[in-house]
Structure 1
Amino acid sequence: MDRRSLLRATVAGAGGLALPFTAWSAAYAAPAQNATGPYGPLRAADANGIQLPAGFTSKVIARSRQVVSGTSYVWHDAPDGGAVIPNGSGWIYVSNSEVSSSAGGGASRIVFDANGTVTGASRILSGTNQNCAGGKTPWNTWLSCEEITLGRVWETYPLGGTAVVRPAMGRFKHEAAAADPVRKVIYLTEDETDGRFYRFVPATWGDLSAGTLQVFKAGTATSGSFTWQTVPDPDGSPTQTRYQVSGAKSFNGGEGCHYANDTVWFTTKGDNRVWQVNLLTGTYELAYDDSLVSSGTAPLTGVDNVTGSSYGDLYVAEDGGNMEICLITPDDKISVFLRVTGQGSSELTGPAFTPAGNRLYFSSQRGTSGSSSGGITYCVTGPFRT
């Protein structure tokens, strides 16, 4: 029984509601293994240099240092982490800029109508440094994270409002954030070779101005049980947050983070792993490890940003590798969903689905030039499983 079937059986007595992303159990097939993807093989590269399965098409939405079509706004350099925010019948795509404050670091937005037509674009955060990934909240704000020593989390307001720094969420080399509305916490990754995995417990859900930062405690194995312990000094000075709690588990280069239905997934680039944490049972294990693929070549290397579809598929973007976004299905199979050609000095960032689930946005941070000024933001449209 795969995890989607397990979920359906579990909820059958509660009105038959089937939700995606139930916890992956160690009793099943994890970590993921090579398989043919649900959409079939990739076709030859299209006019944008992107290889996609049959039925899917790509479109360039924006290019760094060029005006976003239909607006007067110049798109930022080095587009990184992103998310889609609902906006009436349309939506907003938000994107970080992973450059220094002097080079224009911060975040921007592109506004779309219900047909996916661009209707506006603007800056939502300025004057910050190396804004890498982040995460959206249930109240439709975007948490933009600084990937620097003593980096901060900024809460931005794509629907309108002034960005606010959230120091209670800790000062460290922030990467990604994922909101858990059930436990009313925000999970946070740290991009250090000995980084930690954290959660922030707000004093009041929906208000990130005050709360408690906690760190993940577990053994050295790749699976087992875990607990959370409060970080005594979230400002990270003089002792950095990752060294304040004895027994806090070390992770090699925390990157993307995604939550859905009592499970949180996060990636670690130093060892090409996707971790899954079962929040109901208090256990963790591997969803993917490139060294544990039993046959063929591991498709996913340089793991980075991660998102999920409404069906229950995980989409993991590569920083390097073959410039691919790979797909991990609910029955723990991994395949390549798309490949960007001719951009080997770049990385893929910011994957995010629209509310309807039929459009996937993402960026190539340095595009064909290999420079932060060459970033390209795309949209892929097609018959995604929903």
Structure 2
Amino acid sequence: MSVTRRQMIARSGALGAGIAFTGSLSELFAGTAAAQDLGHSGYGPLVPDPDGLLDLPKGFRYKVLSREGDQLRSGEGKVPSNHDGMAAFAGGNGRVRLVRNHENRYNGKIGVPTVKGLTYDPMGKGGCTALTLDRHGKVLGERVAIAGTAVNCAGGPTPWGTWLTCEETEDRAGTNGYTKDHGFIFEVDPADPHRSGAVPLTAMGRFQHEAIAVDPRRGIVYETEDAFEKPFGLFYRFLPKKPQGGLGSLRAGGRLQAMRVPGVPDLSSIQETGASFDDIEWVDVPDPLAVETPIRLQDFGKKGITHAQKLEGCYWGGTSVYFVSSFARSAEGSAADHYGQIWRYEPSKRRLTLVIVFGPDTDVQLPGESPDNICLAPSGGLMVCEDGNGAQHVYGVTRRGEVYAVARNAQNIGTPDAPEWGEFAGVAFSPDGGTMYVNCYSPGTTFAVTGPWRRA
């Protein structure tokens, strides 16, 4: 999650919530088993939190599960900084296991403590921590799940109950003090991290990873790349040799391919929702390890390859994979400007469709563009984490296209005269749909939010 996001938005701290959409929200939920749509625009206005942490609608409440700088319950060290991507897994007997990324760089604040058997590169400050909650939401345990990685931004859950954590960097051994190459995906077992260890899934590529989504039927893993400079990132798929899945199956290798949209070198050039492209091509990546050249700069033949700026969130819904482009700016090298897109790829039809275009509602001072982490909500809609300057929200989006604020970060990390709030990340729901978990990136805080989520 780059520090350059939404630089065009003034640090005004505007509290109004406004998102404009074009496109059909119903496409995002086709074929899903989501609950009935909320049917109205939200749960009411946000109520200022007297403790200055998290503003929520009336009837909702939060619990702080973990804060950076506190002691891990395992005794392994302090809770690391920069809370980012996260997922919730059923732990049996009503328990929930959370796996949480820490996007620490070489010069990060509080790094993930190194633990024997769980550390990839002792000079890496990133990694994951895992929390275990009882059926009442009480924290039973908190421990290191993987250490020695770098810039762990997002990732995604697998159908077999593990977490794939993604390094958003291409730094090599010898750069910034690292002793090993970085830019990989690692598998984390939330129940027993020592079963998964700290093994890079090298066949899945070495690049600035952001997020993944797994086709549960075919076992194909889709990957987004959040490259910071032009040429921007690619959208990938990984065809595993063992598509049946299971812990460790991805280590057997497979083929990494990049998406080519015929005649479209840059996705930002497509501005009209509903625009659809058939016969999408997948091209083998010449050198997945990027030994000499970053993948996005490699030779994909005369037809080239399709790029997009700020490829971020990625998730599987129904029979399709969805991925997010947070924004595009022509001043930074994109073909055109936009405030956020969601694309849908249907593997069975080899079809790519622009489903949603985000944009500020009449005033660029308002929040509501630059969508990032996204998850399906028990209400049947989406939850969207906002990432940028100014006021930071978690938004709900109904199937009807109504947008409403669910939470607002109240932790001012600026000054009274120039307030600033950290972004939200890692939004996820408990297996029973009764609790929303979400991270505040800085100061690193993990919240559990309960309330009438299914109210219709």
| Structure with the larger RCO, 1 or 2 (CA within 8 Å, 6+ apart) | 2
Instruction: Tell me how far apart the structure 1 counterparts of residues 364 and 104 of structure 2 sit (CA, whole Å).
Output: 37
Structure 1 position 71, deviation (Å): 5.7
CA apart distance, 1:296? 9.6
1:242 pairs with 296, 309, 321, which one?
296
- CA offsets 1:84-117 (integer angstroms, 9 cap, x no match): 1211121111111111364631111010112211
Tell me what 1:380 maps to: 449
- Residues of 2 paired with 1:5 and 1:185: CA distance? 20
| Structure-1 separation of matches of 2:145 and 2:364 | 44
5+ residue gaps, structure 1, are 12-17, 22-34, 368-374
Length, aligned pairs only: 355
Spell out the pairing of 1:1-386 with structure 2 (5 A cutoff).
3=26, 19-20=33-34, 37-68=41-72, 72=75, 74-89=78-93, 90-100=95-105, 102=123, 104-149=125-170, 151-160=183-192, 161=195, 162-193=197-228, 194-205=232-243, 206=245, 207-209=249-251, 210-218=253-261, 219=264, 220=266, 221-222=270-271, 223-225=275-277, 226-244=280-298, 245=300, 246-271=303-328, 272-279=339-346, 280-281=348-349, 282-290=351-359, 299-321=367-389, 322-343=391-412, 344-367=420-443, 375-385=444-454
Q: Label 1:299 to 1:138 Cα distance change in 2 as closer, same or farther (>3 A).
A: same
State the alpha-carbon separation in 1 of the partners of residues 223 and 296 from structure 2.
12
Distance 1:235 1:197 in 2: 16
Q: Could you tell me how far 1:233 is from its partner in structure 2? A: 1.6
**Paired residue for 1:14?**
none
CA distance in 2, matches of 1:182, 1:54: 41
Structure 2 Cα separation of the partners of residues 311 and 290 of structure 1? 23
1:370 match: none
Gaps spanning 5+ residues in structure 2: where?
1-23, 107-122, 171-181, 329-338, 413-419
CA distance in 2, matches of 1:201, 1:5: 24
Structure 1 CA distance, aligned partners of 2:411 and 2:55? 11
Separation of aligned partners in 2, 1:200 and 1:123: 28
Shift of 1:262: 1.8
Give the superposition deviation at 1:227: 3.0
In 2 relative to 1, CA 127–6 (structure 1 residues): closer, same or farther, beyond 3 Å? closer
Give the aligned partner of residue 32 of structure 1: none
CA-atom RMSD, angstroms? 2.7
Helix, strand or coil at the partner of 2:233: coil
Retained in 2: the 8 A contact 1:71–1:119?
A: no
Alignment deviations for residues 129-184 of structure 1 (CA, whole Å, 9 cap, x no partner)? 11111111111111111111150001111111123210011000011111221332
Displacement of 1:75 in angstroms is 1.5
Provide the rounded CA distance (Å) in 2 between the counterparts of 1:227 and 1:324. 37
Q: CA–CA distance in 2 between the matches of 1:297 and 1:211?
A: 46
Q: Distance in 1 between matches of 2:379 and 2:255?
A: 33
Distance 1:298 1:180, change over 3 A: farther
Q: Secondary structure at the match of 1:52?
A: strand
What is the TM-score normalised by the length of structure 2? Answer: 0.71
For 1:83, give the aligned amino acid.
Answer: A
Q: Secondary structure at the match of 2:46?
A: coil
